[in-house]
Each structure stands twice: as C-alpha cells, then as structure tokens.
C-alpha cells in the first residue's frame, strides 16, 4: 500500500477539523523533480512497449518517460496530451495497477513497476503550472459547427480533438460546472486543488470551444433542434441515473445515492461541513463504493461497512482500491445482498440476506443479518435512464446507446462515447479515448461529405 494513511476515529476519536482537512489532501504526494528523474531512469525504454498497448489512449509512455529523463518535461507533457488531453486527471484516477503499470516489464525484474501514473502527473502538472500558450494548434477553420452534449471526459475530449481538426464546438452541460464525474464523481483526495477545473481551462485554451452550462437533454435541449442547428452532434452524457434498488425502506431519510454523497463532498469548500453518519453502510463493489466508503472514514464516521453481494475477486474495484479501503478502516461484508432498510422515520439498520452461488447463479439464502446504521450509501452502478434514448429515438444495446466501430449511433449525424456507450470499462481514460476517436471519425465523415452534404 503506497500513499498516505487516512486518520480515522480509531486514531483519535472525534476527528479534528485539521485531521479531516488532511484526510482530503492529496492521496499521493507528487514526485519532486529529482524523484521524477530517478524514477524515469528505472524505465527500460521498451520498444513497442506493453504499457502503451495496455493504455486505452495509447500514450507513448516510453517516450514521455525518456523525455523526463532528458529534462524535456514540456515535451513529455506534449507527448502525453497529444494522445490524452486529460492526461492530468488520468494520472490521478486511472487504475494504473491494472493498466500500464500492470503491463510494465519491470514487474518481472523488480518487485514494483515504474510509477507511470506519478511520472505522468509530474509532466502534465509541470506544463499546467508553467502556463504559457496552449501546446496544440487548431487546423484552419473547417466551417463545420458541432454540438456536444455533456462536458464530462468524453465530451471535452471530443471537443478538444474536433477543435484541433478545425471545427467549431459548442458543449451543452447540465451542471453548473463542466467536468462531469471529474468534477463531481471522484473522491476529493484524488483531485485536490480544484484540478478538474484547472485542466478544463487548460483544455479550453486551444480555442474554438464554447461551453453552455445548465443545459440538459430533454430539459429544454432537444436532439432534433441540435441536429437542425449543427452539422453533427456528439453525445457524452455518461450514466446519469442511479441503478434502482427497489427494497423496502429505500425512501427512509439516511439512505442516499453514493454519487450524491461524493458530489456533496466535492462541492463543499469545507469538507468537515459535509454530514456523515456515525455508522455508515456502503452497498456496492465498484470504485464509487470505495470512494464513498473511504471518504466517510475521512469525515470521521465511527464505523463504515462496505457490503457486496459477491466476493472480493468479483468486485470491480481494483485490488489497490480495496486495499486503500481496508487500510482506512473500512470493514468488508461480502456475499451479502441488501433486502430492506429498517427504521422509524429515519434509517436505523440495513438488512442483508446471505448469498451464494448455485450452479453459477447468485442466490439469496434464508439467512438474514442486520447492520445498525444511520447512513446507507448506494453504489450499485448507474444507468442511462430510460427517457433519454427513447425520447431521442436512439437505438440502445445492453442499456447503453448503440454505436458502430466509428462511434456512430443509429441516428445519422449523431455520435456518442464514454460511459453512455459501454465501450469497455467505465473509466475516465476510456471516455477520453472514445471522445478522441469519435472526433477523428466524424472529421473524416464531414470532410468526405462536404459542407451542406447529406448526413
């Protein structure tokens, strides 16, 4: 387990404000310049490197690390950002232990891979801190005007690449601030110092991108209108609706969606002001469940229990995330599925059924157990929501917007990417890649058909 240790009630009883603030500080200390150079020297500078193949955005990792080694840190940031314009966020939140760092060949010669994530952060942060002109240039104006729905990683990545290719892009965002999950949905200790907004203002430094906040699809913003006013539309709306958990007591005060809890923390200038229960139950096995559980500990909950219906190996949270939770004092209760929330007017306990696999199918057993709690956070995933696709006439596959290999939806001129299409793991880095590739594909299509041509 690397990174800092979170202070919990177990350490000091009631957490002081200072401890809470420290808990929400940077999970990993950034590398100093000297540390970065030494770490970079561990890289073998592989040819056709496995780490590159493991990166959804195919960042040329050996090259950017070589550039750190030679002292060309700006160049190294350009190498990263040319493949992944949100390389700063990805360096912070990517599960590198199952991507580039798992593929790192140094795992075979030493007991730890090259710290690719931390090196990437070093480069990008250094470039952003320097300020200066945006490192990329826009192609001559194509005359095409594109609309993007959703200013999350997919939408912004699309917007940046499309603008580089010469198109004018307008991004419509439901929330007050752009960023999507980068701004509202990731643990605060991974995105300190308002990094999501810093990265977005850097990204917008390219020019040619306009953001219109407070505009949600179906709430005054209609796909048909966008198709009329723009040459093409990219949908990057993510999965906005919590997956339903229809069990008794779901409406009791104290039962919340985990993403709402995380959002409250991200929006609070003073983290200590966010209400947390004394005894918190988190339901789910993904990284969002971990982010919620660990942050409940950060806020000073007495007892945090993460409940998952299957075993540890089936959790979609990576081993590293699970270990972070465990070392932060989060208790795991596995093979347990929620059946009811109990309480008179307010949550008092969560009731679980033991589960087991019967011929490969998860089955609830008779056995029941209750965990007393005054807060339950539900993190069993999100869905597209039924209204969006239906109202727009978009074909849906497996609960996500159906797209072809070029990110085209069933509607001509409408592209989609990110979590709403399910192109792979629901990861920031995958959303960035989707946006980038969709922009490149759409650019080819627009140039082939010409201005005013048929979609």
Q: How far is the CB of 276 from another protein (least distance, A)?
A: 44
Instruction: Please give the residues from 323 up to 362 whose contact with another protein meets the rule CB under 8 A.
Output: none
Q: How far is the CB of 34 from another protein (least distance, A)?
A: 7
Q: How far is the CB of 106 from another protein (least distance, A)?
A: 8
Instruction: Please give the residues from 165 up to 194 whose contact with another protein meets the rule CB under 8 A.
Output: none
Q: Is 118 in the site for another protein (CB under 8 A)?
A: no
Q: In this chain, which stretch among 46-54, 131-139, 271-279, 284-292 interacts with another protein, using CB under 8 A?
A: 46-54
Q: In this chain, which stretch among 33-41, 180-188, 207-215, 291-299 interacts with another protein, using CB under 8 A?
A: 33-41
Q: How far is the CB of 411 from another protein (least distance, A)?
A: 35
Q: In this chain, which stretch among 40-48, 120-128, 183-191, 233-241 interacts with another protein, using CB under 8 A?
A: 40-48
For 307, the token pair is 């409940």
The 374-393 contact track toward another protein, x by CB under 8 A, reads: --------------------
Q: Is 40 in the site for another protein (CB under 8 A)?
A: yes
**Which CB atom, from 17 or from 53, has the smaller least distance to another protein?**
53
**One residue of 21, 22, 37, 440 binding another protein per CB under 8 A:** 37
Instruction: Please give the residues from 49 up to 108 whose contact with another protein meets the rule CB under 8 A.
Output: 49-50, 53, 69, 105, 108
**Which CB atom, from 109 or from 361, has the smaller least distance to another protein?**
109
Q: How far is the CB of 12 from another protein (least distance, A)?
A: 39
Q: Is 115 in the site for another protein (CB under 8 A)?
A: no
Sheet with 145-149, edge to edge strand ranges:
209-213, 168-173, 145-149, 232-235, 414-416
CA distance 19 to 425: 34
**Which CB atom, from 109 or from 313, has the smaller least distance to another protein?**
109
Q: Is 46 in the site for another protein (CB under 8 A)?
A: yes
**One residue of 47, 251, 313, 454 binding another protein per CB under 8 A:** 47
**One residue of 18, 29, 41, 395 binding another protein per CB under 8 A:** 41
Q: How far is the CB of 37 from another protein (least distance, A)?
A: 6
Q: How far is the CB of 259 from another protein (least distance, A)?
A: 34
Applying CB under 8 A, the residues found at the interface with another protein are 34, 37-38, 40-42, 44-50, 53, 69, 105, 108-109
């Amino acid at each position: 387990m690397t990174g800092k240790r979170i202070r919990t009630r177990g350490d000091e009883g009631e957490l002081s404000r200072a401890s809470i603030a420290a808990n929400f500080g940077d999970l990993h200390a950034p590398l100093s310049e000297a540390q970065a150079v030494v770490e970079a020297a561990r890289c073998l500078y592989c040819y056709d490197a496995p780490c590159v193949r493991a990166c959804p955005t195919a960042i040329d990792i050996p090259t950017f690390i070589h550039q750190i080694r030679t002292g060309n840190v700006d160049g190294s940031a350009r190498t990263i950002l040319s493949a992944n314009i949100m390389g700063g966020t990805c360096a912070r939140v990517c599960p590198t232990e199952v991507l580039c760092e798992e593929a790192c060949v140094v795992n075979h010669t030493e007991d730890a891979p090259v710290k690719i994530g931390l090196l990437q952060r070093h480069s990008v942060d250094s470039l952003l801190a320097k300020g200066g002109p945006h490192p990329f240039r826009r192609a001559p104006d194509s005359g095409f005007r594109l609309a993007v729905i959703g200013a999350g990683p997919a939408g912004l990545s699309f917007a940046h690449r499309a603008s580089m290719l010469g198109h004018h892009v307008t991004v419509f965002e439901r929330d007050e601030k752009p960023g999507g999950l980068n701004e509202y949905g990731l643990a605060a200790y991974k995105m300190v110092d308002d990094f999501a907004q810093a990265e977005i203002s850097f990204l917008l430094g390219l020019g040619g991108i306009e953001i219109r906040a407070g505009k949600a699809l179906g709430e005054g913003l209609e796909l048909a209108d966008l198709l009329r006013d723009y040459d093409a539309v990219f949908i990057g709306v993510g999965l906005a609706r919590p997956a339903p958990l229809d069990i008794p007591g779901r409406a009791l005060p104290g039962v919340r969606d985990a993403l709402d809890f995380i959002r409250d923390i991200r929006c609070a200038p003073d983290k200590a002001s966010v209400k947390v229960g004394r005894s918190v139950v988190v339901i789910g096995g993904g990284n969002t469940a971990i982010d919620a559980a660990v942050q409940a500990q950060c806020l000073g909950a007495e007892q945090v229990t993460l409940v998952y219906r299957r075993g540890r190996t089936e959790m979609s949270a990576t081993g590293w995330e699970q270990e972070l939770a465990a070392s932060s004092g989060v208790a795991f209760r596995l093979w347990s599925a929620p059946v009811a929330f109990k309480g008179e007017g307010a949550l008092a306990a969560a009731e679980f059924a033991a589960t087991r696999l019967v011929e490969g199918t998860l089955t609830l057993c008779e056995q029941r157990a209750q965990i007393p709690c005054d807060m339950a956070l539900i993190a069993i995933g999100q869905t597209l929501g039924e209204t969006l696709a239906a109202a727009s006439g978009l074909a849906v596959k497996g609960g996500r917007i159906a797209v072809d290999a070029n990110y085209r939806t069933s509607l001509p001129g409408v592209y989609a990417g990110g979590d709403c299409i399910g192109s792979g793991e629901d990861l920031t880095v995958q959303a960035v890649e989707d946006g980038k590739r969709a922009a490149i594909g759409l650019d080819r299509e627009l140039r082939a058909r010409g201005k005013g041509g048929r979609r």
